[in-house]
Chain A
Amino acid sequence: MIDFELSPEIKNNRDMVHMVAEQYMRPLSHQFDENEHEKPWDFLNMMWEASRNSPVSIGGDGKKKKADQEPSAAPQRGLLAAVAIEELSWGDAGLYLSIPNPGLGGAAVAAAGTPEQRQRFLDRFKSGKPKWGAMAYTEPHCGSDTAAIQTTARRDGDSYVLNGTKIFVTSGLMAAEKSEGFVVVWATVDKSAGRAGIKAFVVENNTPGMTVVKCENKMGIRASDTAMIVFEDCRIPSDNILGSPVVQETTEGFKGAMATFDATRPAVAASAIGIGRAALDFTREALEKEGVKVRYGIARARLTAIERDFMEMEANLQAARLLTWRASWMMDQGMRNNLEASMAKAKAGLAVTQVTQKAVEILGPLGYSRQLLLEKWMRDAKINDIFEGTQQINLMVVARRILGYSSKELN
């Protein structure tokens, strides 16, 4: 039955996470935006400890494949994660992204790894010190066009040897050098094979030959590190190739890695919505202080420009949220959600960009001032229309699916 009521479990989790966002994240926002490359260690340690005690790590990926779950275990993992991520990002998106967890790398392992690999790489997140996972596909000369990856993986006996440069790796520094984490690296075993040659490899932290050469300075989400990682004759065990041994012969590796996005795009969309909601709440409160009330139900011709703008922001955000919930719900049902995940991501990425930019406009000096957080949210928001597939790339995924085109037919 069509129903929009969150389960009590999800609501409780949401309320708890909201408390964290309000009490622990908001007060840090300003400091870790201004002081890029500093780490909020107390907060990170706290989140790590908290996620140990919770059935689903808050801010964790919740992206385990349905097939290997107990049927009754967590039938709404994806939705629960989406709701939690919205709250965390309402608190602070940069801080949310820097929370120690399996991250995108973990999502890739969950989506494409064998059971043995999932255990080997993901169990570590249950204990010990804070750890991070990261994923590296983007290179200096290719981002959207993942099939053009230049990093190579050469087979040498029981090893693969990686060579190449990866950029913009979220939590790359923490995963590669500052914790017992790992980086999932996309590389080609055969450049002449195009897509079919591209596989995902797990590189353990501090593997010789893997070096973080810099962390980027960014427009927003400054609390999150974005690393450039160079691989020079970086030798890893051959069973670190994600998926079963057959992936070496087929395009399975690439498809598996791409399937990661079906899980991560709703998560990015949820994060976008959290930032948008922060801006919307802030705008509503600021307007109310000035005695401006938004009137629902009156003739459109009688609405003020601010009311119109505000309602449009609100409706866009809610539409994005429902699309995101749907994509997450489908994932939880074990339904293929490739189309819906990209719909949610495209909508949310654009909506939050527009909503935050509009909020800055509406609030004038309050919006532009660095004393308040609205301008920061606008800067944070923009990334959601870029990473995990840009607006255009997600539209392309949607277009291919509604038109029944392959990537050859529409690109």
Chain B
Amino acid sequence: MVSFQPSEEQQLIRDTIASFAHEQIRPHARDADENGAVPAAIVQQGWELGLVQSSIPEAHGGHGDTRSAVTGALIAEELAWGDLAVAMHLLTPRLAVWPVLMLGSAEQQTSVLGAYTGNSFRTGTAAVMEPRFDFDATEPATTAHRSNGGYVLDGTKCYVPLADQADRIVVTARTDGGGVGAFIVDRDTPGLTIGEREQHMGIKALATYTLTLESCRVPAAHRLGGDDANVLALANHWRVGLAAMAVGVARAAFEYARDYARERHAFGMAIARKQAIAFMLAEMAIEIDAARLLAWEAAWRIDRGLDATREAYLAKNYAANVALKVTDNAVQILGGHGYIREHPVEMWLRNGRGFVTFEGLVML
């Protein structure tokens, strides 16, 4: 039966994450952006929230919670409201863990999952994007050829978060059959080179790297889910995650601009009392809710086991546009002050612009 009310448990999780975002993340967001680093203390506190360990089965040392994309969307929005780069940093290990949970065989789960249930942050990551303007996750240029009972990977990946400290990287690549496979590549595999840290317009606190794979040989057992596994099912999970994060960033910007507009006076009254500003704020509020509901619906379909390809894709694209429009409006509403780094809105605009580009940077 249709309902827009999170369950009590979801509400509790959401409140916990929201206060963490409010009290721990937000106060450090600007510095993190300026310094290009997420403070270690936040990383550790984030780890202690169990964002990664929660869904790992108890048999492997995790909490054994059922994975829910809807709950994930609630969490992602709150974290991103705090700060997008921090949110992505905290969730990066999921990029390695979730594919194994979703596609991995019993042996693969046993060999991988245990590492991510300890007391301190443990990095795993995934390499999905490639440096091309028309990059398409469904048709990677990176290839995986069968050879001598294993696979040989060749290609270049970019936007790989925390690659320098990850001990394993899940790499997507086109297989000989034309499908897209996911391969667990250990950090020290010969042929894998981790390049310089990338410099981006936004999410500057998140360390991302370019990777090159040159005749990089991995055992057949490292292909997730065996020969026919459909890695593209993972795309729904990251797209909804990105949609939810876009909503979080947009909401942050909206709230800031709304409060500012109530305080700032021009021509004898608060600028929020001018329709040009008030209507902008109204549209921002409507579009944020619209994007959130699309993300929830796609997440709900995932949880229900329904096909969510269309919904997740549309939700992500929609939310990416909303994030851009809303953060841009927020800068506009602050006028010249919006352009100054003393206020966070310019940072949110730089971060918000990224959503159209991002693929595979987060997992629900």
Cβ-defined contact, A319 with B318, below 8 A = yes
Residue B151 interfacial (CB < 8 Å): no
Cβ-defined contact, A399 with B278, below 8 A = yes
> Whole-angstrom distance from the CB of A1 to the nearest CB of chain B?
5
Cβ-defined contact, B291 with A299, below 8 A = no
Quick one: which of B275, B282, B286, B313 contacts A297, CB cutoff 8 A? B313
Residues of B within 8 A of A300 (CB): 317, 356
Cβ-defined contact, A2 with B3, below 8 A = yes
Cβ-defined contact, B294 with A2, below 8 A = no
Cβ-defined contact, A2 with B5, below 8 A = yes
Residues of A within 8 A of B133 (CB): 301
A347 to B138, CA, bound (A): 33
Cβ-defined contact, A323 with B273, below 8 A = no
Cβ-defined contact, A399 with B279, below 8 A = yes
Residue A315 interfacial (CB < 8 Å): yes
Residue B131 interfacial (CB < 8 Å): no
Cβ-defined contact, B235 with A315, below 8 A = no
Q: Which has the most chain B C-beta neighbours within 10 Å: A2, A296, A300, A399?
A: A2
Residues of A within 8 A of B304 (CB): 5
Residues of B within 8 A of A251 (CB): none
How many of chain B's residues have a CB under 8 angstroms from any CB in A? 49
> Whole-angstrom distance from the CB of B37 to the nearest CB of chain A?
31
Cβ-defined contact, A5 with B286, below 8 A = no
Quick one: which of A302, A319, A409 contacts B134, CB cutoff 8 A? A302
Inter-chain CB contacts under 8 Å: number? 141
Residue B106 interfacial (CB < 8 Å): no
Cβ-defined contact, A323 with B286, below 8 A = yes
- CB-CB under 8 A for A343 and B285, given A1-B3, A405-B273: yes
Quick one: which of A5, A302, A329, A347 contacts B136, CB cutoff 8 A? A302
Residue B20 interfacial (CB < 8 Å): no
Cβ-defined contact, A318 with B135, below 8 A = no
* Chain B residue with the shortest CB-CB distance to A392: B279
Cβ-defined contact, B314 with A297, below 8 A = no
Cβ-defined contact, B314 with A395, below 8 A = no
A403 to B7, CA, bound (A): 28
A3 to B282, CA, bound (A): 26
- CB-CB under 8 A for A296 and B7, given A398-B285, A399-B279: no
Residue B337 interfacial (CB < 8 Å): no
Cβ-defined contact, B272 with A405, below 8 A = yes
Annotate A1-44 by CB proximity to B: 1 below 8 A, 0 otherwise.
11111110010000000000000000000000000000000000
Quick one: which of A7, A325, A402 contacts B281, CB cutoff 8 A? A402
Annotate A312-332 by CB proximity to B: 1 below 8 A, 0 otherwise.
001110111011011001100
Q: Which has the most chain A C-beta neighbours within 10 Å: B281, B286, B314?
A: B286
Residue B47 interfacial (CB < 8 Å): no
Residues of B within 8 A of A215 (CB): none
Residues of A within 8 A of B6 (CB): 1-2
Residues of A within 8 A of B279 (CB): 392, 395-396, 399
A296 to B133, CA, bound (A): 18
- CB-CB under 8 A for A299 and B134, given A5-B2, A343-B286, A395-B283: yes
> Whole-angstrom distance from the CB of B280 to the nearest CB of chain A?
9
Residue A79 interfacial (CB < 8 Å): yes
Residues of B within 8 A of A396 (CB): 275, 278-279, 282
> Whole-angstrom distance from the CB of A184 to the nearest CB of chain B?
28
Residue B55 interfacial (CB < 8 Å): no
Quick one: which of A4, A298, A323, A392 contacts B138, CB cutoff 8 A? A298
Residues of chain A in range 318-352 having any CB-CB distance to chain B below 8 Å: 318-320, 322-323, 325-326, 329-330, 343, 346-347
Quick one: which of A4, A302, A314 contacts B297, CB cutoff 8 A? A4
Residues of B within 8 A of A3 (CB): 1-3, 300
Residues of A within 8 A of B136 (CB): 298-299, 302
Cβ-defined contact, A4 with B2, below 8 A = yes
Residues of B within 8 A of A346 (CB): 282-283, 286
Residue A76 interfacial (CB < 8 Å): yes
Residue B194 interfacial (CB < 8 Å): no
Annotate A63-81 by CB proximity to B: 1 below 8 A, 0 otherwise.
0000000000000100100
Residue A410 interfacial (CB < 8 Å): yes
Residue A362 interfacial (CB < 8 Å): no
A330 to B3, CA, bound (A): 9
Residues of B within 8 A of A320 (CB): 290
Cβ-defined contact, B313 with A296, below 8 A = yes
Cβ-defined contact, A403 with B289, below 8 A = no
* Chain B residue with the shortest CB-CB distance to A346: B286
Cβ-defined contact, B290 with A297, below 8 A = no
> Whole-angstrom distance from the CB of B106 to the nearest CB of chain A?
29
* Chain B residue with the shortest CB-CB distance to A294: B310
Cβ-defined contact, A296 with B314, below 8 A = yes
Cβ-defined contact, B273 with A410, below 8 A = yes
Residue A311 interfacial (CB < 8 Å): yes
Residues of chain B in range 260-292 having any CB-CB distance to chain A below 8 Å: 261-262, 272-273, 275, 278-279, 281-283, 285-286, 289-291
Residues of chain A in range 357-411 having any CB-CB distance to chain B below 8 Å: 392, 395-396, 398-399, 402-403, 405, 409-410
Extra inter-chain contacts (16) besides given A76-B1, A319-B294, A329-B4, CB under 8 Å: A1-B7, A2-B70, A4-B301, A6-B2, A296-B310, A297-B313, A299-B137, A299-B138, A319-B318, A323-B286, A323-B289, A329-B3, A343-B289, A403-B258, A403-B272, A403-B281
User: Can you offer 20 A-B residue contacts whose CB atoms are under 8 A?
Assistant: A1-B10, A2-B70, A5-B304, A76-B1, A76-B2, A299-B137, A301-B135, A315-B294, A322-B293, A323-B286, A329-B3, A346-B282, A395-B279, A399-B272, A402-B258, A402-B281, A403-B262, A403-B278, A405-B278, A410-B275
Which 10 A-B residue pairings sit nearest by Cβ, starting from the closest?
A: A319-B290, A299-B136, A322-B293, A399-B278, A398-B282, A301-B134, A399-B282, A395-B282, A315-B314, A296-B310
